[in-house]
A and B are shown apart, each in its own frame.
Chain A
Amino acid sequence: MTDAPLAPPRRLAALLSRRPAAGRARSGALHRFLRHRLAVAGLAAIALMLLACWLGPLLIPYDQLFIDIRHRFAGPFAGPHVFGTDQLGRDLLVRLLMAGRISLTIGFAAMALSTAVGTAIGLVAGYRGGLVGAALMRCVDAVLCFPSVFLLLALAAFIRPNVVTITLIIAATGWMEVARVVQGQIRTLKARDFTLAAELMGASGFYVMTNELLRNAVGPIIVAATLTVARAILAEAYVSFLGYGIQAPVASWGNMLNNAQQYLGSAPWLAIFPGLMITVAVASFNFVGDGLRDALDARVEL
């Protein structure tokens, strides 16, 4: 939840704002995406991860919660526990996969929420413009004034951490970027002929917003949404690391890292595996987002 890794959507907004043609010319998008080798690799990695997290635990003969205190800190790649055991003697691999379910669920759910909210606000602000639009965007600006770590921490104080509440606060700090992207898009699109044409033909504002404008802004929204998943997974890790995350004994990648810190010297694998999982997951979503950006945005072909 440092702003650092959370920032891609904001940077994206900056990028897109210089590219008014985004969203047009989607023919050949799939082709362009497939040419993007890193994006394809990212997509494959995500698919593999989803498969592993949801099917893997069924194949492993250990329970993620079963404590075997006599076999704590078993090293990885030796003995029956492939990735070793944690500080309570639980199998690390099965916990990693179960944690993946939680972290990925939070990532997707937070993405869905913040994209929905951000799109709605951006759409209204961009289409209505005027006072409503200005007021909405000033609210967006005000929330953006807080480094999102600060905001996330302040909000975390409100909740009893569980998957739903953590998702909510991550979404609450992630919708602004989407709103900005969408608002920028809509404003440009609004000035175009087809909008005017629809309005002249007597279409209602709602119809124009949803059918004409939104459809044409779908590209950047998809890109922003993909990057938001990456951001949400990281945010979960940061919240957990700073001690406000998912409660034990349920594992998430973030809280596995939090607990591993003190064993960095004696059992480094407890920190290394979850950290790698987060990095791979987040990087995959970022690669896919990057690929989508190239694929959906004609002007990227300079």
Chain B
Amino acid sequence: MARFLVSRLAQSLLLLVLVSVIGFGVLHLAPGGPMAQFALVPGMSQAQLAEIAHAMGLDQPLPLQYWQWFSRLLVGDWGHSYRDAQPVLAVIAARLPATLELMGAAIALAVLTGVTVGVLGAVRRDSAFDVLSTAGAMVALSIPTFWFGLVTIYVFSVKLGWLPAGSRATVGDASLWGYVHHLIAPACVLALVEVAVWSRYMRSAMLDVIDQDFVRTARAKGLPERRVVLHHVLRNAWLPMITLAGLELPTLLGGALVTETVFTWPGMGRLFLDSLGYRDYPVVMGILMVSALLVLIGSLMADLVGAVVDPRVRLD
């Protein structure tokens, strides 16, 4: 177990380095650059632009730039944003809670709904409900998230006026309801795909268990079906679900970016998009690293939990 942990951690670190090389290369080699935003400042001259590029270290060879960035990262210095000169970690930390709030709400919603639908589908296998929910899940996986968001805004904000059209809160309204009110639409939109995933997984995990011996025994003992499902089947079907939660993290992060864009949610995804637009390399790199870190932690947790609950999984 300890050996497994050490080797997984070493692998993860290696992966992070790889991620940083790929990310850095892709970003810096792409056309355009952070100077463009300043080029249009009235009175700006080429000479002054060159000075600014020099001050930012942008005139150095790329490998050297990477090395400087990386060596500073090793001592915990993530650099400063090109836009507002604030430390990258502070910039990201200011945005992360909004993203986590959105993702948390979406996961809670997705797990609750998805598990219910999945369990019901598995228990009433091949019923109309099962067929419909399976088809529904597939369609949900096929709807472009942003389009669903737009339609939601159109229906619930523009036409019906029930929900706000975006933002995390109305300025000056610090009530809990104010926050929840703003959270409903984006959380539902982000949850849509996850509901589909969770219900399908839950259904197949349940089906894997439902015909196993101990379940048959429980039934044979004359336990009520409800009790069999809740106590025997569901408890055992949970195991693969925990791994899923870890593996779904990148999906959720990507979904959050799009949802944040549509609902002008002030989270990390929105920050990524803005920073990419301004070619604010330090911030973009920071977000890439943070999300890669989250993803790695997610999959590590998934493996660990998987190993703990299922001794048949060999950790090597």
Do A and B touch directly, given a CB cutoff of 8 Å in the complex? Answer: yes
Which residues of chain B are within 8 angstroms of A237 by Cβ–Cβ distance? 144, 146-147
Which residues of chain A are within 8 angstroms of B295 by Cβ–Cβ distance? 144-145, 147
User: B141 near A: Cβ within 8 Å?
Assistant: yes
* Cβ of B19 to closest chain A Cβ, rounded Å: 5
Which residues of chain B are within 8 angstroms of A234 by Cβ–Cβ distance? 142, 144
Instruction: Please give me the residue from chain A that is nearest to B277 by CB atom.
Output: A243
Closest 9 CB pairs of A and B: A3-B254, A147-B254, A4-B193, A157-B30, A282-B142, A283-B142, A142-B18, A3-B251, A4-B255
Report A273-302 CB contacts with B as 1/0, cut-off 8 Å.
Answer: 001001100110011001000000000001
User: A10 near B: Cβ within 8 Å?
Assistant: yes
Q: Once the chains bind, are A268 and B257 in contact (CB under 8 Å)?
A: no
Q: Once the chains bind, are A142 and B22 in contact (CB under 8 Å)?
A: yes
Q: Once the chains bind, are A279 and B276 in contact (CB under 8 Å)?
A: no
Q: Which residues of B, 205-260, contact A by the 8 Å Cβ criterion?
A: 207-208, 211, 243-244, 247-248, 250-255, 257-259
Which residues of chain B are within 8 angstroms of A143 by Cβ–Cβ distance? 22
Q: Once the chains bind, are A38 and B193 in contact (CB under 8 Å)?
A: no
Q: A11-B197, A142-B19 are contacts. A147–B142 as well, Cβ < 8 Å?
A: no
Q: Once the chains bind, are B276 and A153 in contact (CB under 8 Å)?
A: yes
Q: Which residues of B, 72-109, contact A by the 8 Å Cβ criterion?
A: none
Which residues of chain B are within 8 angstroms of A286 by Cβ–Cβ distance? 138, 141-142
Q: A138-B11, A145-B250 are contacts. A154–B141 as well, Cβ < 8 Å?
A: no
User: B116 near A: Cβ within 8 Å?
Assistant: no
Q: Which of B49-57, B62-70, B149-157 contacts A (4 or more CB under 8 A)?
A: B149-157
Q: Once the chains bind, are A147 and B31 in contact (CB under 8 Å)?
A: no
Q: A1-B254, A157-B276 are contacts. A15–B204 as well, Cβ < 8 Å?
A: yes
Chain B binding surface, main DSSP class = helix
Q: Which residues of A, 131-164, contact B by the 8 Å Cβ criterion?
A: 138-139, 141-151, 153-155, 157-158
Which residues of chain A are within 8 angstroms of B252 by Cβ–Cβ distance? 3-4
Tell me the bound Cα distance from A138 to B254 in angstroms.
21
Cβ 8 A contact of B154, one of A38, A153, A264, A282: A264
Q: Once the chains bind, are A238 and B144 in contact (CB under 8 Å)?
A: yes
* Cβ of A156 to closest chain B Cβ, rounded Å: 9
Q: Once the chains bind, are B19 and A238 in contact (CB under 8 Å)?
A: no
Q: Once the chains bind, are A138 and B15 in contact (CB under 8 Å)?
A: yes
Which residues of chain B are within 8 angstroms of A158 by Cβ–Cβ distance? 26, 29-31
Q: Once the chains bind, are A144 and B250 in contact (CB under 8 Å)?
A: yes
Which residues of chain A are within 8 angstroms of B251 by Cβ–Cβ distance? 2-4, 6-7, 10, 147
Instruction: Please give me the residue from chain B that is nearest to A160 by CB atom.
Output: B31
User: A246 near B: Cβ within 8 Å?
Assistant: no
Count of chain A residues with a beta carbon within 8 Å of a chain B beta carbon: 53
Instruction: Please give me the residue from chain B that is nearest to A13 by CB atom.
Output: B247
* Cβ of B140 to closest chain A Cβ, rounded Å: 9
The contact sample of 17 A-B pairs, CB cut-off 8 A, is: A2-B254, A4-B251, A138-B14, A142-B22, A144-B250, A145-B15, A146-B23, A147-B254, A149-B257, A150-B253, A150-B288, A154-B284, A237-B146, A261-B150, A271-B151, A279-B139, A302-B211
Indicate the size class of the contact surface on chain B: 35 or more
Q: A4-B194, A4-B254, A153-B276 are contacts. A145–B296 as well, Cβ < 8 Å?
A: yes
Q: A153-B273, A157-B31 are contacts. A278–B141 as well, Cβ < 8 Å?
A: no
* Cβ of B293 to closest chain A Cβ, rounded Å: 9
Known: A4-B254, A38-B135, A145-B295. 16 other contacts (CB 8 A): A4-B193, A11-B197, A11-B201, A138-B14, A138-B18, A142-B18, A144-B250, A147-B254, A150-B287, A154-B30, A238-B146, A257-B150, A279-B142, A279-B147, A287-B138, A290-B138
User: B27 near A: Cβ within 8 Å?
Assistant: yes
Tell me the bound Cα distance from A82 to B177 in angstroms.
45
Q: A155-B26, A157-B31 are contacts. A3–B276 as well, Cβ < 8 Å?
A: no
Tell me the bound Cα distance from A257 to B287 in angstroms.
28
User: B123 near A: Cβ within 8 Å?
Assistant: no
User: B272 near A: Cβ within 8 Å?
Assistant: yes
User: A5 near B: Cβ within 8 Å?
Assistant: yes
Q: A286-B142, A290-B138 are contacts. A10–B247 as well, Cβ < 8 Å?
A: yes
Q: Once the chains bind, are B139 and A283 in contact (CB under 8 Å)?
A: yes
Which residues of chain B are within 8 angstroms of A264 by Cβ–Cβ distance? 150, 153-154, 158
Q: Once the chains bind, are B30 and A265 in contact (CB under 8 Å)?
A: no
Q: Which residues of B, 262-316, contact A by the 8 Å Cβ criterion?
A: 272-273, 276, 284, 287-288, 291-292, 295-296
Instruction: Please give me the residue from chain A that is nearest to B154 by CB atom.
Output: A264
Report B186-210 CB contacts with A as 1/0, cut-off 8 Å.
Answer: 0000100110010001001001100
Report A114-144 CB contacts with B as 1/0, cut-off 8 Å.
Answer: 0000000000000000000000001101111
Which residues of chain B are within 8 angstroms of A6 by Cβ–Cβ distance? 251, 254
Instruction: Please give me the residue from chain A that is nearest to B17 by CB atom.
Output: A142
Tell me the bound Cα distance from A274 to B201 in angstroms.
30
User: A175 near B: Cβ within 8 Å?
Assistant: no
Which residues of chain A are within 8 angstroms of B194 by Cβ–Cβ distance? 4
User: A196 near B: Cβ within 8 Å?
Assistant: no
User: A25 near B: Cβ within 8 Å?
Assistant: no
